[in-house]
Structure 1
Amino acid sequence: MKSKVISAAEAAALIPDGAVVTVSSSSGLGCPDAVLAAIGRRFETEGHPKAITTLHPIAAGDMSGIKGIDHIAKAGLLGKVIAGSYPSGPSSAEPPLIWQMIGGDELPAYNVPSGILFDMHREAAAKRPGVLTKVGLDTFVDPDRQGCAMNAKAAAEPIVEKIEFDGEEWLYFRAIAPQVAILRATTADERGNLTFEHEGAFLGNVDQALAVRNNGGIVIAQVKRLAEAGTLKPHAVHVPGVLVDHIVVAPDQMQTTQTVYDPAISGEIFRPLSSFRTPAFDIAKVIARRVAMELKAGWAVNLGFGISANVPRILLEEGRHGDVTWVIEQGAVGGVPLLDFAFGCASNAEAIFPSPHQFVYFQGGGFDCSLLSFLQIDRAGSVNVSRLAARPHVTAGAGGFVDITTRAKKIVFSGYFNAGAKLAVVDGRVVIEKEGKVAKLVDEVEHVTFSGRNGVARGQDITYVTERCVMKLTAEGVVVTEIAPGIDLERDVLGKAAFPLGVASDLEVSPAALYHPEPIGLDLGEAA
């Protein structure tokens, strides 16, 4: 049997000019960084490969020790990029190289919802023409808006069409057949069978490998270690060796961002619940508590980055852990979703689902509720989380946000009413010590990531939770239904929005327990 093991440099040498390369990764989670680095080094010394197109269903790299796509963000090497999201960084830092290329219009760059990108791989694998979907209608995905284009070069090469099928309006994405896949796993045996025992997610490795194998390409797998052929248990193998051409052993690969290896992330041990930190009492915790009040016991709840990521810790503190099952796009089901740089992973998960299957669950609305953040809200109730022109690299793009929100039954968006305000909680009241300078309730959002108009038409239950008030989306617009103690409705809410807000006839004051350090006695009731 000929060995499949090659060096990272040899793997890089296999990639032809003009190739379409699909990369499995979610920021730092599962990123095949050693192979991407080798491709960048080869280009610097040989000038090849040239003009490759890369597909990233979720971002590759995190700008915190795992460079990912920035290894190949070089003029002449990268010719086009299609990604669900991109590495992001603080506004004070220099933008990642890929953002500099996008902003400089050096290559066509697209932000395609992660679930749709996985769908495109599956269609390419089955030799079907493309993806017909309602995900993204009336958002930046829609060709009536940006059509996923992130710059002028991408706008000149449309990637999505709006068509009529069976009397209805749909978005159509042509399948893209990749010639190379770069995967990441923990162990490969000599035949190329891949196991993921130290990984925090399976991501889309199987779908990406199938798309390449069925279209005559090559599949490269970066792994931590090599095992003898026949020693891996078949139930543990998630990518069979018949789909893998080459193996690159990279012993130092990190499990995820700023994490070399944590066995609780990969489900090998369960952490004691007492080991999870709960948030300190501050205004962000108040918002997270109020979001938690929107939940019901027995629900399956999707969780996004931002303030809402703390809601599982609120349930822990309130003794309600397990009443809700958390489902996140990278694939974890249940457990305790992690925070900060480890977001996308969960400890103590009940199951880890392949990301493409998780997105089918989301796109079809099989779950009960989603907790997400917002950068901007406008008069139609639309939400922007994917682009701010003044600080593009601070946002990562949409990821799975559009897939998740299209048919979610209930969505709770959370965030601060405006940006830059100095806030405190004093004696059970919200105190605005210094007003923010950047409005977040704007007349029209810069980028429509969630369509308020479609949300109303679909009958979705949409709530916005801020430190000042709670609002609901209705057919008449955005309506204030609840106000925090210490907040003046006219001065602090209505006067700080760029569009007229409605006010409920039965306007309530938020529960007093939210504004004191002690547990609030959270009662989730039961789902109907």
Structure 2
Amino acid sequence: MWAKSPVRTANRAGVTVISTGVRGCRALSSSASRAQINKVVPSADVAVAAVRSGATLLSGGFGLCGLPNTLISALLRRPDVRDITAVSNNAGLAQSGLGKLLASGQVTKMIASYVGENKVFEDLYLSGQIELELTPQGTLAERCRAGGAGVPAFYTPAAVGTVIQSGDLPVRFGPDGSVVKTSEPRESRTFDGREYLLERAIKGDVAFVRAHKADALGNCVFRYTARNFNVVMAKAAAVTIVEAEHVVPVGSIAPDDVHLPGIYVTHVVQATEPTEIERKTEAVAESAPALAGPRERIVRRAAREFRNGMYVNLGIGMPMLAPAFVPAGVEVQLQSENGILGLGPYPQPGTADADVINAGKETVTLLPGAAVFGSDESFAMIRAGKVDMSILGAMQVSMYGDLANWMLPGKVKGMGGAMDLVANPEQTRVVVTMEHVDRKGNPKIVAECAFPVTGRRCVSRIITDYGVFDVDGEHGLTLVEIAPGLDVATVLAATGAPVTVAADLAEM
């Protein structure tokens, strides 16, 4: 919902130029000089002045990285703008990013992949005050990319066999906690023997984008992982407003360096609010205590899954710790779904960079030879099976390899990129690391998952503090390694599914 009020001006040749406020200045004659195109506006308040209630707002950012905070704050100063549908990977924190518009009541629906640590977001959803359309992260990026490319819909392997496909995902709760609205079931189709789901493109009325540099023509450059969703959001909106850390003269950005061409940009404003760091994480001194206990056993064993030359994606939590234990002589390239290939260790104290984070929103470094890219490209390489292995955490794994790792009763975090990461198990090996039992002593390896699944028959190996299990989608579980100090009877008693014990059972 964007007000379009044509403004007529005259250029130096006396040609009338019409600016609709939607796509910048459009000359009525080809003789108009390019110098007349100036998309820079005085302030964020001017840029957002025409946003109307009921708008669909696309917002770049991943966690707090690359968030258009200046524009979001300007919209917060317009409490008359209500009933916004916001599309973003997540909603920041309670008082950062879109979380501020949720807290003010201006956003009434979110389309996102992750609720994360935003308690306000979670409470509003579970109490029925907002609608939430949870979407796998890679699907969200592709829906926006398709919207900007004129593609109305596409098929994806992500979320087959889950509540996304069946339409059983709660979109809105009632005040009493009952489900009053569920998601739409997805149409499916089989290609080359595999099932895929049909997903509709997303297009917005307005996009808020954060860039490192922008010129008066609207050409933009992004810095490291701050590219994330910003480029696809910019392309998918009728009106795109860019806040830039540096507004630079036309010609100062080399053509090869342009990440977002100005044709997609309506307005440019000077960013006035800094990018925040959600999880400032720094390298631990060598003298600090090492990871200890059952978790160390799991992480050390997971590191033995690495093979020289592999491309590997690591989930948040324990998987992120595995690179510290990679055997000597083994070199792997770590992929982070927010846009890194060549992920490095945590930065030294005092060197953390807000624009270099991993999928867990932690500050990290980039190794020599690393590459950075947007979220749509990151999930394209994941979806296409270019990533050799993904190591993920889990709440439950079934005896046939079903994975549940994104939702518990009464709590919502979101699936993030997990449904995309496990959607191609024939090409991307899925290894799960988790403690063998939960805090109440209940088995986490079960005959059938009780929690909503992330993917069906996708896990090939489970590593716990009790042992290592191979998983076959037809024949079930085989215990292939056992932790020191445990006997087979103890492991089987703590496992909630039938297990075959390998004849050559080894010590973990």
TM-score bracket, normalised by the shorter chain, equals 0.7 to 0.9
- What aligned pairs does 1:24-423 form with structure 2 within 5 A after superposition? 24-43=60-79, 47-48=80-81, 50-56=82-88, 58-62=89-93, 67-74=96-103, 77-88=106-117, 96-143=119-166, 146-147=168-169, 149=171, 151=173, 156=181, 158-164=183-189, 169-197=195-223, 199-212=224-237, 217-254=238-275, 256-258=277-279, 280-283=290-293, 284-315=295-326, 318-320=327-329, 323-336=331-344, 338=346, 342-343=361-362, 346-348=365-367, 350-392=370-412, 396-408=413-425, 409-420=428-439
The AA in structure 2 aligned to 1:354 is: G
2-structure distance, mates of 1:441, 1:499? 7
1:200-229 C-alpha deviation (Å, 9 max, x unpaired): 3421322222221xxxx1101122222222
Displacement of 1:53: 1.1
CA contact (8 A) 1:305 1:343 kept: no
2-structure distance, mates of 1:132, 1:375? 28
Equivalent residue, structure 2, for 1:480: 479
Q: What SS does the corresponding residue of 1:5 show, helix, strand or coil?
A: coil
How many correspondences in the alignment? 451
1:276-335 C-alpha deviation (Å, 9 max, x unpaired): 9998141323211101111210111111111010122223xx4447x1111111111114
Equivalent residue, structure 1, for 2:351: none
Moved more, 72-81 or 179-188: 72-81
Structure (1/2) with the larger helix percentage? 1
CA contact (8 A) 1:309 1:337 kept: no
CA, structure 1 residues 219+376, in 2 after alignment: closer, same or farther (shift >3 Å)? same
CA contact (8 A) 1:52 1:78 kept: yes
Displacement of 1:275: 8.2
1-structure distance, mates of 2:52, 2:341? 39
1-structure distance, mates of 2:329, 2:131? 47
1-structure distance, mates of 2:197, 2:363? 28
Rg larger in 1 or in 2? 2
Identity of aligned residues (%): 25
Equivalent residue, structure 2, for 1:526: none
The AA in structure 2 aligned to 1:51 is: D
Displacement of 1:169: 4.3
CA, structure 1 residues 236+150, in 2 after alignment: closer, same or farther (shift >3 Å)? farther
Displacement of 1:462: 0.9
CA contact (8 A) 1:60 1:69 kept: yes
Unaligned runs of 5+ in 1: 90-95, 263-272, 421-435, 456-460, 511-528
2-structure distance, mates of 1:294, 1:278? 26
2-structure distance, mates of 1:330, 1:158? 26
1-structure distance, mates of 2:42, 2:335? 37
2-structure distance, mates of 1:172, 1:279? 49
CA contact (8 A) 2:204 2:236 kept: yes
2-structure distance, mates of 1:27, 1:113? 15
The AA in structure 1 aligned to 2:332 is: V
TM value normalised by structure 1: 0.77
Displacement of 1:42: 1.9
1:424-460 C-alpha deviation (Å, 9 max, x unpaired): xxxxxxxxxxxx54543344231101212xx3xxxxx
2-structure distance, mates of 1:6, 1:137? 48
Displacement of 1:473: 1.0
CA contact (8 A) 1:337 1:343 kept: no
Equivalent residue, structure 1, for 2:59: 23
1:6-56 C-alpha deviation (Å, 9 max, x unpaired): 43333443322111111111111212223223323322xxx31x2111111
2-structure distance, mates of 1:499, 1:412? 18
